[in-house]
Structures are given as structure tokens and as C-alpha cells.
Structure 1
């Protein structure tokens, strides 16, 4: 799994201003494979809708996934005759590969994609991208499973879709409602950080993108959609489901071991300029308290079990020290990952060393309580010892949380990286050529693109606006 993303946290989101100069605000990618029959009709229908309803500049990009029919010729003709359309040709299949390639080279600040069959009602497109344009959200997805969505599809696909999303909720703790709806958008600066972490190049690409974004704390906006199933879909359900389950296992394992630098996707505390001037602003206090209490409860249980086991072969002080040491190591590791969201191996040894200092404070409190009990009651019972130790641990817990939060795992979001005052990750403006960006291990010839000479005077051929026949009553 790739982790070569730019270092440093994301900048604050900003509202995108409308204007005639510069690149278009929105780039809608349509991945296609052998769609010669429907491509022209769907692209012109989308272009007509955006021209009538979208108040910003836009572009439609046809990403041809190694089609073997006349799809490349149709896409090239559209790009040559319609100013808002361009086409890319990839020599390898894979929806994820197509989206990653086109999004990585686009100069539009908002990137979207939709299926060529236009199963999703186009009236949801503006609500989809509006939160990204305004700076409110980082990603946006269409949801067929929202309560206000209206969906026309067979029971088999309905069951598979809902079962898949239940698997994601149970295995990866996903909170978004619909992973595979072919109707999504993302801000470009987020895509630049997130795409190198996404390994899948096929249908699981969407799910992996969303899971990593959600785990990083990015804001995902959901839009209820009206959706009509395409009866001629070429998706192979069994093979796709198998690959998706493999992807769930791979991503879950990577998240469990902290193999991804998701901290580089963190946003500042607030997007208001006044918030950026604040230093040491605590974040996610309520969530951290819940996580710390849960880890603390499990650590206390582990400590008591270890103490009881060690007490069978030694004195109370030895049993207490051994049980506290082992439970403290486990407690620091769990709080590092689950409570304070620190992933990867960076500073892991330092955090454990600082955790041992906190352990020493806890050891002093609990050992002192045992010494006081021995001085006061002499040969106390095992139950009395446990009661005193529980009280001492509760007292040490408050101090442990404060030390973890302020010293061991301080909130570093928005702080300069490695002593630098600031760092801007600029994307060069396109100059006619397309250089790979964000994938240094892939040679430039890994992609093949259609190169067209743009004719600003070209006019869209008169095509009547046709309603989707599938929605006819």
C-alpha cells in the first residue's frame, strides 16, 4: 500500500470563487469500457444539463479503459467537437485506475465522477459538489440507501448492496451509507494526499478511498439520489464481490497495524481565520475521553488478572510492579492508536518511553497505597488489597489522561513540519504535456492519452434533450 504522500497537514478549506479565467471549477470524469452505443448520447446529455444548471466552469472527461470497440473514436470525436469535453485513453482496465490517472492530472479544484449510464438523476449533481465548492466538506457521495432516495432496481442487487454496506460497517466501522454508488466528488487538494494511499485499481477503489478519508477525519457529505438500475450493466457481481472482500481484509489489516500516514490528511481546528490564530486548541476531547475510558477499563481488567496471577508466586509489591508494567505497555499502545489517533511507527519508541514515565507515577501511587495499607492494617486480605488498588488506579487515571493528552500525545494538527514555517504543495499548471504526479514509481509511458487540438469556435451539434427512457412510466 502506497504511503508516499506529501507531509504536513492539509490547509484549511476555502470557498471557490466563480470566474471566467483559469481552469474550470468542476471536472466530471466518466470511466468507460466498450460503451460505443451510449457514450455520445450520455455525454451530450450531461453537457446540456451542466450548461443549463451549473453556475461555474466545468469540464467532462471521458476516461477510456482499454476499450476494444469504437469507444475511443467516439470519445475523440466528442473531444474535437465539444469544447467542454476531453478524452483520455488508458491501455489497462480498471475504474480505479482511470479515476486515479485523470484526477491526478486534472487542474480543476473539484473532481467528480459518474457512470456512463447516468443511472443517477442529474439533478443531484449540483447538491453533490456544492459543499466542496463552499469549503464545507472534503468529499461528497451519492447515496441510494438514504431514506429520501428513490431507487428502481431488482431485489438481487438491492440485497447485495445492503449486505456489502453491512459488511463495511461491521468490519471497517464505516459510517457512510453507500460505498459503491457511481456518483462521487472530491476536492483536489484532498485527492492529492489521498490517492497515493489507495491501492485498488478496480471497483473497490471507491470503498478504499472513503474508508481512508473517514478514518482520517475528513468530512464526507452524503446526497440522497434518485437512481434507476441499468439492466445492461456489464459488472460481474460474483468476481466483483470477491475482490471487494479481499480489499476489505487488506485495508482492515493496514489500519490495524497503523501502516498508513492518515495524520497527513488532518485539517486545522477550524476554517475561520480566528481559529487558525489559536495555539494549542484541544480537539476531539469528548471522543478522546470515551476512547481513554474504554482502553482504561480493559487495561484495568488486564492489570487485575495479571496481578492475581503474579500474586500466586510472589509478594504484593512484585505482583503489582509486574502487572502494572505489562498493562502500562499495552495501555500506551492502545491509547496511541485508538484514543489519540497516532498511526505508524513514527515516534513509537518515544511514546512508549514517555508512557513508562507515566507508569512510574502510577506505580508510585499504587505502591504507596499498598504500603499505607500494610502499615495501617497489617496482613490485609486479598479482597482488601484489590479494593485499595482499584481506588489508587482511579486516582492515577485522571493524571494519566492529562499527561497523555498534554505531553505524550499532544495535538499537532496544523503545526509546521520538521521545523518549517510553512509548506505549500503547489500543482504546476498544465502546459500541453501531462507529467505523472503523485506516483513517482510509475513511468510516464504507463498511460496513453488522446491529445487534441482545441477549437474554441467549435459549436455543440444540435441534439434534442432526451429524457431517460428508463424512467418513463
Structure 2
């Protein structure tokens, strides 16, 4: 599974896949099979014909043989020999998840998909399935038989089992996708490279585990309503599969509850839209500032209460409150200046302290007013009641203090202005720089036309946009 993911644990921002050279596969469709000598050849021919006629990119069809004991391996080898876009992959152990993991790990296509050999899902949904992955809009895509606009033909037993299983997923693992086990899914290769090592199951629960982990990590899952006709000759053992799935639900739920999975490796940043980038930076700054302000605030409150207790005996309630609040306000402004808002150096330090004193006056008015309302000036309240009222008043003033500090005392340092520029943007020069006169010879030369992308068409249905 070769990708262009940069070094490091996190995934890069989603981007449209670059134009592939002619003949290079953009999509690799895997067909897991076990003893499918009757259905394999018709399935591959039908899928190849559909992709040749309708798919605008290079593609490959990979037959993943799960230790078949009939003529399936020979048929798969013959198809691979006759059709250039088909290859065969043999595994000596059974398991759909094991087959997909092995094939996808060796694929060089940027989009990886799979479908069941019975082609129960209509092929017209294949391009809508993979298009969001090619464009960079989504990370995974699934076909859904339970979407409102899906058209499904199947018996009541399969219908009940499918819906009951998805109810279990929603109630136990808080899954929001609608259909976990439809055999029609796709994933970007860069996502699969990070996601699949965390997936333990090698059988039918492989799909569910992959989707649950992807959703918990915040990856985007695209759902496509599909037309689906049940295969009456399906060899799926419903009871045994259901028991294995319930064991998988328990295992994954326990791992998520204990934090045993490094889901942070699947986190994606926003795209390259400057508005998204600036919004993300602003949100990150706000979170860091709130955390820093809360930390400084806790320490300042403890410092204030200590000073108030020390001053109370000699200055009285109002005097102790004013003195303790003044000293703690100076310390609070200095700490927030450096730790919360990242201001370094001595520049504007005095101005910041003066502005901090204005904020202090607001806090003094709130706390003094609270004490006056309590009647402490006449000695009618207990010392414990005084402390409780002061704590409540300080908490009420905290939000206002933070807003004043952020918007007035320490405005956003990333905002461009006459005295500072946004990070990474050079400040405007103090005086205009003279520019040389234009070269009359160069200016008379015609401007070359822009190069526009062209489309080349290759044989065997591999049409690649350039």
C-alpha cells in the first residue's frame, strides 16, 4: 500500500488525488472469493465491462482467493492472464478481512474498494462510491442498503438480522453510519495505511471494526444508497457470523473505553482553504488561552484568598479585600501576559499593567458590592460566609475578566495591524521602494498562453485525466 503520506503519525489534510500517468490505476477493486468457480468469471467480466465503459480513470480488478479448494484458483489465474486489468492473489487462510488486508497492503492504487462476488449491489453505485475519495472530500465510503432511497430485495430474515445488528452498533458503540456489512466499500490508501494496523478482525467483522475506528477518529464516511438484490445461494452462516460480530462489538467497545487505541494517528487537519486554516488557528488559540487563563485564575484565586486571610485582621473586610485583590491582580496580569497570551519582553508592560488595573477595578466593584450586600461592613456575617461570597463574586467576574484581557489588554496577536502582521506575513515597508522602469522590449513581447489540462484516452478502458 504505497502512499505519499508525509513522515509522522498524523494524516495530512484531504486533497484531490493528483492526475495519474496513463495506465496507472487510480482504483483497485478487490473481489474476495472462496470456492466461487461458478460465479467468478461472470462477475469479473461484468465488472470489467462496466469499468471500461463508465470509469474515467485507470483501474485494476484483484481477485483475492481465500484458500479455495475447487477450481477457483485456476479460473482466477486464467482471467488474470487474459485481461490486463485483472490480477489474482492467493491466500492459504480463509477470512474476508485477512484477504482485504493482504491485497490492500500490496496495492499501489490511491483508492481501494471491494465488492462481493455475487454482485448483489448495482454497479451504477461504484463511481458515486469512489468519487468523494478521489476528490478528497471523504476518507471512506460505504454502500448503504438501509438508506431511505435504497432499493433492496431480500427475505425477511436477512432484513431483520441486518437492522438488528445496526441497532446494536448504534446503541453499544454509538455508530452513526447506517449499514456496516454491505459488501460494497472503499477507502483512500493513505487512510488504510494508518487504519488497518489497528483493525484486529480477519473475518466478517472486519468492516464494522474499520468503520467504528474511523468514525471515532473523526474521519469522514460517505454513504451511497444502493440497489441490492439478495443472493438466494449465499453461504453466509448467519448465526455463527452474528455471534462473532457480537464478540467483536464487545472487544472494540472495551478498547475504546480504555483508550487502548491510538486514534490520534488518524486525525486529519483541515484543508488548504485559507478561511479554514485561519479558523482552525483561531480555535486552537482560543482553547490554549482558555486553558492558560483557567490555570492562572486558579492560582490567582488561591493567592488572593491567602492574602485576604492575612490582611483581614488588620485592615477589616473591605480593606483586606481591596489590598488582596490589588496585589493578586498585578500578579495575575503578569502571569496572563506571559503564559496565557504569549507576550514576551518589556514592551508595553506598564500599559498592560494599567489596563489590568482597570480590569481589577471591575473585579473590585463586583466583590465589594457583594460584601456590602452581605452586610460585612457592620459585622453581621461570619468569616465563612464572607469567603463563600467572595469566591462566588470572583467566579462571576472571571468570564468578564477573560474577555477584557483577550479583546482589550492582549488583543489577538495574529490579527494584522499597523504595528504587527499575521504570522508568516511580512510587515509592510516603511517607505515605498522605487521600481525600475519597464523594459520596452520585454513589455512588447506577447504573453504566452496558459497551459490547460488535456485528457488522454488509453485502451482497455483506462481513461486518465491530465
User: If the TM-score is normalised by the length of the shorter chain, which range does it land in?
Assistant: 0.5 to 0.7
Q: Helix, strand or coil for the counterpart of 1:77?
A: helix
Give the secondary-structure state (helix, strand or coil) at the position aligned to 1:245: helix
| Distance of 1:30 and 1:240 partners within structure 2 | 20
**TM-superposition CA deviations, 1:65-115 (whole Å, max 9, x none):** 111111111111111111110010001110000001101110000000000
Aligned 1:139-288 pairs, distance under 5 A = 139-272=140-273, 275=276, 280-282=281-283
User: Using the alignment, how far apart are the partners of 1:394 and 1:99 within structure 2?
Assistant: 57
TM-score computed with the length of structure 1 as normaliser: 0.61
CA offset digits 1:377-421 (Å, max 9, x no partner):
534999x998987776676689999xxxxxxxxxxxxxxxxxxxx
* Partner Cα distance (1:94, 1:52) in 2: 32
Q: Secondary structure at the match of 2:180?
A: coil
| Deviation per residue, 1:347-393 (Å, 9 max, x gap) | xxxxxxxxxxxxxxxxxxxxx99x978967534999x9989877766
TM-score by length of 2: 0.62
Q: CA deviation at 1:271?
A: 3.4
Alignment CA distance shift 1:91-1:387 (3 Å): farther
The structure-2 alpha-carbon separation of the partners of 1:390 and 1:45, relative to structure 1 and needing over 3 Å to count, comes to farther
| CA gap 1:169/1:6 in 2 versus in 1, 3 angstroms | farther
Structure 1: state its 5+ residue gaps. Answer: 290-367, 402-457, 461-473
Aligned partners of 1:6 and 1:264 also within 8 Å:
no
Secondary structure in 2 matching 1:282: helix
Residue 91 (structure 1) aligns with: 92
Tell me how far apart the structure 2 counterparts of residues 112 and 244 of structure 1 sit (CA, whole Å): 22
What is residue 109 of structure 1 aligned with on the other side? 110
The 5 Å alignment of 1:378-457 reads 378-379=381-382
How far does residue 153 in structure 1 lie from its aligned partner after superposition?
A: 0.5
User: Structure 1 residues 170, 272: closer, same or farther in 2, change over 3 A?
Assistant: same
Task: Select the structure of larger CA radius of gyration.
Answer: 2
2: CA distance, partners of 1:83 / 1:39: 17
Counterpart-to-counterpart distance in 2, 1:281 and 1:378: 45
Change (3 A) 1:133 1:34: same
**Structure 2 unpaired stretches of 5+:** 1-5, 291-366, 404-458, 462-466
Kept in 2: contact 1:6–1:193 (CA 8 A): no
| 1:269/1:281 contact within 8 Å kept | no
Q: CA offset at residue 219 of structure 1?
A: 0.7
Cα distance change of structure 1 residues 387 and 151 upon mapping to structure 2, 3 Å threshold: farther
Deviation of the 1:270 alpha carbon? 2.2
Answer whether contact 1:269 1:283 (CA < 8 A) is retained.
Answer: no
Q: Does 1:120 align with 2:126?
A: no
Q: Which residue of 2 aligns with 1:21?
A: 22
1:31 equivalent in structure 2:
32
1:138 corresponding residue in structure 2: 139
Contact 2:166 2:180 in 1 (8 A): yes
Residue 265 of structure 1 and its aligned partner are, at CA, apart by 1.0
